[in-house]
Amino acid sequence: MPLSPEEFYAHALETADAEGRMPQSRMAAWSTAPFENDGLHVVPLRSPELPEPPRNGEGGQSCRNCTEEMEGVVWENSDWRLAVPGPASGAPLILILFPKGHFDLSTLPDDLASEMGRLIVHTAGAIEALPHIARSHVARYGDGGAHLHVFFFARPEGFAQFRGTWFAVWDDLLPPVPEAIRNDDARAVGRAIERSFGGHAVACE
């Protein structure tokens, strides 16, 4: 049986100092880490909060994805939308895949789950076919919103330092890429998915 929140907290504090700070992590020593270890401190671990605060779209809150018009859509079909998340950021391109219906990952019907698997492959393929993009990282967290959203992070070619998990942090540290180039790349991915998978590319501004 998994540890209860209180047991997990007690277990974690076994390695922490009097303020609840754990020692430096293995990841901080990776060659891909964006921070130098000198002067870096782990924040104190907070005690568990139960029940957890609701995510957007649950606990009586309306779902933003179901009630507001989505901006930045670059491709859609009858069941899915693929969109840029807002202004450009440090990664050359970030895209998010949403079902049109209100489902989380664990409640997605089997037919949509099958389609999502193929869409993830086609989207990653279209991103990796862009010039100067080495990899499409794919992630589902689901801790902010109850409406399923799958992230694609385009990792630029030539930067072994951006390999792996830390790239989401590098995205935040790097200056935003030019918006027009980001949008051109997003539109190219939409057109590529229309060709290879179907649905419709949408011209985002």
Residues that bind Zn ion (CB under 5 A): 57, 63, 65-66, 102, 147
Q: Which amino acid is at 77?
A: N
CB of 148 to Zn ion, least distance (A): 9
Q: Which residues pair with 99 in a beta bridge?
A: 80
Q: Give residue number: closest CB to Zn ion.
A: 63
Nearer to Zn ion, 4 or 62 (CB): 62
Nearer to Zn ion, 102 or 191 (CB): 102
Nearer to Zn ion, 45 or 63 (CB): 63
* 110-128 helix and 179-196 helix, angle to the nearest 10 degrees: 130
Q: Give the largest Cα separation in the chain, rounded.
A: 58
Nearer to Zn ion, 62 or 165 (CB): 62
CB of 63 to Zn ion, least distance (A): 3
Give me the half-sphere count of Cα atoms (radius 13 Å) on the Cβ side of residue 142.
13
Cα–Cα dist 81/63, whole Å: 16
Nearer to Zn ion, 16 or 70 (CB): 70
CB of 66 to Zn ion, least distance (A): 4
DSSP secondary structure letters along 144-201? SBSS--EEEEEEETT-GGG-STTHHHHHHHSPPPPHHHHHHHHHHHHHHHHHHT-SEE
Nearer to Zn ion, 65 or 123 (CB): 65
CB of 65 to Zn ion, least distance (A): 4
CB of 102 to Zn ion, least distance (A): 3
Cis geometry, peptide bond prior to residue 23 (ω within 30 degrees of 0): no
Q: Dihedral sign, CA of 164, 166, 168, 174?
A: negative
CB of 85 to Zn ion, least distance (A): 16
